[in-house]
């Protein structure tokens, strides 16, 4: 069975996402996790876990930040708390956190998530040997590389099929620094502010940028949408699909997720036609924020095109 | 309490070519790092064949120095075949360690080239002591820290781990967490983690928001000249020359200099300065004094302004390049001393850049030997008087008042 994972922005949205057909909710607190639609406190996470479990769904909590000494000290207690409230899984990208998870000997599976760095079967299997139950595949792996990869992996991978794609994380407050230099105050630099940059001589490009306590984050020109490519993923057996609503409208995101859930059901029942997927894709596009384009990222890229 | 002599950390210099390897070691580096033909992040640096690695390792070992090979790409599916063989060749060439970032390549090196030591690359962004412990537990000898780690954090790491710690002290910096940036992949179709970084962070970008639906608004401010200043993410370079005691006392085992793409002039100068400063501090910490000439020396090979990166806090706007770049005094590498005649006081020089009569030339050599003079006469290899030496690698002679040694270098301030 194909598993649909979606980010959560609120308790109410979590309930709606469950109704829309997600199998797994993905959420966390920005002290421990990266680029989340909302920063939930542990008691809020506990409520969502309870809700999810009532509906036989699972919850994954983000523990995938790059930790410095000050924060790594708090990771063990956080993992213990997540385990205690019944979280089904965590994401981890910092090997230090894996080290602590194993020392704590908790019954808490983790999937390895180091953003753009997870690019080969051998690396994925390395984390498998370190008890990872899965890994999040980098967005920069084209379909042509997924084919051999899918035959070699010992643990499942999660493929992002919808959402904003992070392409840069800086430890510096790049927007604040710029603002200070030009001595013109940028009123807020958080995600809600909706700042973006465009590349030289490409005024139509749109790279979202924001700052939070994990630094500065920049996103790809278009959001990812693999709706019409889902059959290829399904055929490869890559059947854990994540939808990232970081930059989506919270209400529309649920409807977009519902479209993907329909596609999943059709594929799992071997009934998906290209026409149906195109229709569902149109639904996703109609619900997309006006200023944010959609494309299928690196999916169709010939690996030799990347130097 | 009086500080007595302290343990001397390694000064680790970049060497893009076999020539730079020899020069870096001659100029005081305790170790150098080089690239192989595969798996390195500097696809455009002059990389080493296995034969060149073996010769380089021999040269280094005869002088008590070490050679590391950077093999720090993040591999994709098609890059995996042959990695084990590559590491065995590296090991058999006598290389002291490989610097690796991708866990799959770390595993390959450890399992398929037993005996080869492995260091974690800065590309893996190690920022806490538990991460260091993880990698030590995996069998790594050393971890190169992320450039985002501060002095106080290193001190704390040292109390929680005994894995060797290597930290960048000089050179260019990534603006983001190294490895966690694929701007180049997405903007230039060049993989930043496989040697193709197009340095898109140093571009100038327009900055916008959309206050009302469909209407984007430019948000760029102005610089001191009143001109529009575009958004940029370009880091100034790093120099920790003024803070050697902090680094040594924090427990850094290896002070790393960036720049496998840099020139002989840069490598010789920076290796010389850091090895001199580190030796000076470790021999007599109590009476150590930073010498202005060390700082001046580094500015002669600086390409950007210099800063202390993250060592003393999160970098503010002064640690980034905005607006017009301040013009730095620019020095050119003009030649290498081949010989010196004590009787005639004639120096024989192999030219590397145009120079001639009337130019002020600075000689510098290992162990910080220095001598500056104006060129008053100049002869070609046939001993005919000439005004200038414009030809690459030509052999010339001129009068040099002070004795200099073969292998010393000549530099001159470029005419602006």
pLDDT digits (tens), chain A, 307 positions: 899 999 999 999 999 999 999 999 999 999 999 999 999 999 999 999 999 999 999 999 999 999 999 999 999 999 999 999 999 999 999 999 999 999 999 999 999 999 999 999 999 999 999 999 999 999 999 999 999 999 999 999 999 999 999 999 999 999 999 999 987 778 799 999 999 999 999 999 999 999 999 999 999 999 999 999 999 999 999 999 999 999 999 999 999 999 999 999 999 999 999 999 999 999 999 999 999 999 999 999 999 988 8
Least CB–CB distance from B176: residue in A71, A148, A170: A170
Q: Would an 8 Å CB–CB cutoff place B199 in contact with chain A?
A: no
Q: Per DSSP, what are the bridge partners of residue A134?
A: A111
CA distance A278 to chain B (A): 26
Q: In the CATH scheme, what is the code of domain B331-413? A: 2.40.30.10
Distances in Å between the Cα of A252 and the Cα atoms of A17, A249, B291 are: 11, 5, 63
CA distance A217 to chain B (A): 9
What pLDDT score was predicted for residue B356?
Answer: 94
Which of B45, B11, B42 lies closest to B28, judged by CA?
Answer: B11
Residues of B in contact with A186 (CB under 8 A): 219
CB contact under 8 A, A119 and B128: no
Least CB–CB distance from A66: residue in B127, B175, B317: B127
- For domain B10-176+235-319, give the CATH superfamily: Copper homeostasis (CutC) domain (3.20.20.380)
**pLDDT, chain B, mean:** 92
Q: In CATH, which of 3.30.300.30, 3.30.420.40, 3.40.50.300, 3.20.20.70 is domain A3-165+222-305?
A: 3.20.20.70
* Banded pLDDT at B416 (limits 50, 70, 90): very low
Which chain B residue lies closest to A143 (C-alpha atoms)? B77
B43 pLDDT more than 70: no
Q: In whole angstroms, give the CA distance from residue A198 to residue B391.
A: 45
B216 pLDDT more than 80: yes
DSSP designation for B235: B
CB contact under 8 A, B180 and A177: no
Domains of chain A, residue spans:
3-165+222-305, 170-216
Q: In whole angstroms, give the CA distance from residue B182 to residue B187.
A: 8
More confident residue, A148 or B413: A148
């Amino acid at each position: 069975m194909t598993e649909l994972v979606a980010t959560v922005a609120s308790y109410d949205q979590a309930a709606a996402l469950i109704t829309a057909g997600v199998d797994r909710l993905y959420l966390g607190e920005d002290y421990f996790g990266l680029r989340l639609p909302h920063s939930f406190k542990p008691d809020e996470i506990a409520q969502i876990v309870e809700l999810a479990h009532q509906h036989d769904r699972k919850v994954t909590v983000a523990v995938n930040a790059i930790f410095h000494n000050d924060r790594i000290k708090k990771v063990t207690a956080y993992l213990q708390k997540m385990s205690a409230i019944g979280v089904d899984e965590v994401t981890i990208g910092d090997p230090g956190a894996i080290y602590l998870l194993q020392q704590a000997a908790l019954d808490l599976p983790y999937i390895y998530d180091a953003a753009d760095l997870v690019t080969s079967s051998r690396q994925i299997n390395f984390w498998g040997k370190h008890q990872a139950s899965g890994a999040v595949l980098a967005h920069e792996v084209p379909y042509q590389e997924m084919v051999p990869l899918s035959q070699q992996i010992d643990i499942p991978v999660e493929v992002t099929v919808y959402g904003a794609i992070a392409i840069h994380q800086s430890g510096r407050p790049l927007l604040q620094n710029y603002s200070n230099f030009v001595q013109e105050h940028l009123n807020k630099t958080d995600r809600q502010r909706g700042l973006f940059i465009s590349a030289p001589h490409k005024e139509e490009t749109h790279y979202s940028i924001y700052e939070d306590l994990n630094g500065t984050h920049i996103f790809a020109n278009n959001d990812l949408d693999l709706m019409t490519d889902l059959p290829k993923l399904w055929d490869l057996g890559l059947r854990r699909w994540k939808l990232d609503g970081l930059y989506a409208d919270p209400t529309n995101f649920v409807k977009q997720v519902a479209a993907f859930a329909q596609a999943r059901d059709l594929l799992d029942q071997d009934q998906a036609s290209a026409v149906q997927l195109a229709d569902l894709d149109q639904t996703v596009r109609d619900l997309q924020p006006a200023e944010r384009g959609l494309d299928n990222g690196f999916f169709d890229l010939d690996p030799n095109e990347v130097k | 309490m009086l500080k007595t002599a302290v343990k001397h950390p390694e000064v680790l210099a970049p060497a893009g070519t076999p020539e730079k390897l020899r020069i870096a070691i001659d100029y005081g580096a305790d170790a150098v790092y080089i690239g192989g033909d595969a798996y390195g992040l500097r696809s455009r640096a002059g990389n080493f064949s296995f034969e060149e690695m073996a010769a380089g390792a021999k040269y280094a070992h005869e002088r008590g120095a070490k050679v590391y090979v950077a093999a720090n790409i993040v591999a994709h599916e098609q890059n995996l075949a042959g990695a084990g063989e590559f590491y065995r060749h590296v090991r058999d060439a006598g290389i002291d360690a490989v610097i690796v970032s991708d866990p799959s390549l770390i595993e390959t090196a450890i399992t398929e080239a037993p005996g080869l030591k492995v260091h974690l690359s800065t590309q893996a962004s190690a920022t806490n002591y538990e991460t260091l412990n993880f990698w030590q537990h995996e069998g790594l000898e050393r971890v190169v820290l992320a450039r985002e780690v501060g002095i106080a954090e290193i001190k704390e790491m040292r109390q929680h781990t005994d894995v060797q710690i290597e930290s960048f002290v000089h050179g260019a910096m990534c603006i983001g967490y190294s490895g966690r940036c694929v701007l180049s992949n997405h903007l230039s179709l060049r993989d930043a983690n496989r040697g193709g970084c197009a340095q898109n962070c140093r571009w100038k970008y327009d900055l916008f928001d959309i206050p009302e639906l469909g209407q984007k608004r430019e948000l760029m401010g102005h610089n001191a000249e009143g001109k529009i200043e575009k958004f940029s993410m370009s880091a100034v370079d790093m120099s920790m020359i003024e803070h050697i005691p902090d680094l040594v006392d924090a427990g850094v085992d290896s002070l790393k200099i960036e720049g496998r793409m840099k020139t002989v002039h840069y490598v010789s100068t920076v290796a010389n300065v850091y090895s001199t400063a580190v030796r000076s501090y470790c021999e007599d910490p109590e009476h150590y004094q930073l010498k202005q000439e060390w700082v001046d020396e580094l500015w002669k090979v600086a390409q950007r302004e210099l800063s202390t990166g993250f060592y003393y806090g999160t970098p503010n706007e002064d640690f980034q390049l905005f607006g017009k770049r301040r013009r730095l005094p620019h020095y050119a590498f003009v030649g290498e001393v081949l010989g010196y005649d004590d009787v005639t006081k004639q120096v024989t020089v192999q030219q590397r850049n145009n120079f001639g009569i009337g130019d002020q030339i600075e000689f510098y050599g290992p162990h910080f030997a220095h001598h500056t003079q104006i060129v008053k006469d100049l002869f070609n290899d046939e001993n005919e008087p000439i005004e200038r030496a414009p030809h690459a690698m030509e052999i010339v002679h001129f009068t040099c008042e002070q004795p200099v040694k073969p292998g010393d270098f000549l530099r001159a301030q470029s005419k602006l």
